[in-house]
Structure formats: C-alpha cells, structure tokens
Amino acid sequence: MKVKALILGFGLICSVSSFAADELRFGVEAEYPPFESRNSAGELQGFDIDLGNAICKAAQLKCSWVESSFDSLIPGLVAKKFDAINSAMNITEQRRKSIDFTQPIYRIPSQLVGKEGSGMQATPEGLQGKTIGVLQGSIQETYAKEHWEKHGVTVVSYKDQNMAWADLLNGRIDASLVMSAAGQAGFLSKPQGKGFGFIGKPVADDTILGSGIGFGLRKGDEAQKKQLDAAIDKVRADGTITTLAAKYFPGIDVSVK
C-alpha cells in the first residue's frame, strides 16, 4: 500500500508540474491604460494584455494574470508569486541587478504632461518651483529624481497613475512625467484632458530610461527566456506587434532600434 501511495503521489506531482509548465503567470499593474487596465466588465484589457496573449499562443502556453502595484512587481517575481512581469517595464541596468529580461519587445518615449500655455519646459530650469507627479517604482520616477529633484523641483510618487492624473486636475501637482502613449490614451484623449498637453520633447537618458520594454524574468531562468524570446520573434515577424501598436498607439513608432 505504501508503494502504491508513493507511486500515486509521484504521479500527482508530475501531473501538477506538467500543468504548471504549460501555464505562464504574468505579473501586471492594471492601472496604466492603454498598456493595461480593466474595462467596464472588470476584464483586463490593453496593449500588454493582447501582446501577452499573442506571445503565449505563439509559445503554446496558457496565460494567467496576477495583479500587483508597479513597485511590487519585481519583489513579487523574485518571490515566485508569478513567472514573468508584463507591465510596460523598461529594461534598465538598475533592474538587471535584481532580475533578467527577455529581448526588448517595443519602446515608448517618456514625456511631461501639463497645462497648455503654462510656460514650463522639461528641464531643471523650466520646472523651478514646480511639483511633478510620477508613478512609484517607474523609470520616470528615477529620471525625475536624478535630473530635476536635485535642482529644487518637487517630485511626488504615486501608487498608480490615475492618482497622479487626479492631483494634476485639482492642482496639487503641475505636471506628470509618463510614457507618451499612457499620457495620450490615459489622460489627454479624454474629456478631463482638455486644456492639457505634452510639455516639450521626450526626455532622454538611455542609462535610466533603458533599451526598450520586455518581460521581466527571474535570474537564471534561461529556459523560459529562450522560450519567450522565440515567441517574441514569431509575433514580431508575423506583424502582430505592429498591428497592436497601430491600434493602441496610433502615430507612435514603437520599434526597438
């Protein structure tokens, strides 16, 4: 009986392991349209959601989603709460100290959003005495603290971007630094965005802003990286990334140079 129980137990473990190997749990912060958000029915939607499903299909995997605040995504990945981060996370050297990444999939510039005619410029001098909102744990937060806060600009971090938009509307902050697509789709294209616009050109610092957006992976997870990189190559070659970008980011070149 003991031998039979052991055999049954081993078979159950193998079955669970086999099922787990066919499923990819993505960690996502669902308050950042058009990358990821929930629709009126409470369903996840957005560029990263469609992209993740397409890549899972190409890799013959089943997708599932685990929600987390953005600044908790890397700790959650390391703690094995999910298998990969799919949440518009830019690949940077700072993040590479904690996790690995797939190849870059797409790239979005970062721009400042504020009142039209405010006279602000996206420079330390042009933001003197101003308060800038950023998403907590984002590269935009790192950029603003490094380039602006040291020169007397106040930087306020938010758990999700919608909180920053609310404070921009009520005047608690003067502008918010975001990925341009998030600024356009998540705020400027909506009725509440009337009278606001992009301030200056996209900011630049490849060291902080990274080489593009990819999926975050646990250190040393080479098998999963190989599998996902191959699937990314497929969806790039068949035009899926270009098609999704045209749907969610019209007019924005998302190609990785």
pLDDT digits (tens, 9 = 90+) for 201-242: 999 998 999 989 999 999 999 999 999 999 999 999 999 999
Looking at the fold, whether 71 and 161 belong to one and the same domain comes out as no
Looking at the fold, whether 89 and 124 belong to one and the same domain comes out as no
Listed residue (27, 36, 29) closest to 83, CA to CA: 27
Looking at the fold, whether 221 and 205 belong to one and the same domain comes out as no
- The CATH number of whichever domain residue 30 belongs to comes to 3.40.190.10
Residue type at position 116? E
Listed residue (117, 132, 197) closest to 167, CA to CA: 132
For the chain, the straight-line distance linking the first and the last C-alpha, in angstroms and rounded, comes to 62
Tally of domains in the chain: 2
How far is the C-alpha of 177 from the C-alpha of 153, rounded, in Å?
Answer: 13
Looking at the fold, whether 97 and 134 belong to one and the same domain comes out as no
88 in a domain, yes or no?
Answer: yes
Looking at the fold, whether 102 and 225 belong to one and the same domain comes out as yes
Q: Which domain holds residue 35?
A: 2-107+212-248
In order of 48, 80, 111, 167, the CA distances from 65 in angstroms are 11, 13, 28, 29
Report the C-alpha dihedral over residues 41, 246, 102, 50, rounded to 10 degrees: 20
257 in a domain, yes or no?
Answer: no
Tens of pLDDT, residue by residue over 80-106, are: 999 999 999 999 999 999 999 999 999
In contact, 84 and 24? CB cutoff 8 Å: yes
Looking at the fold, whether 159 and 205 belong to one and the same domain comes out as yes
150 in a domain, yes or no?
Answer: yes
Residue 220 burial (C-beta neighbours within 10 Å; 0-12, 13-18, 19+): exposed
Looking at the fold, whether 202 and 120 belong to one and the same domain comes out as yes
- Tell me the pLDDT of the chain averaged across its residues: 91
Q: Is the pTM of this model over 0.85?
A: no
Asked whether residue 9 carries a pLDDT value surpassing 60, the answer given is no
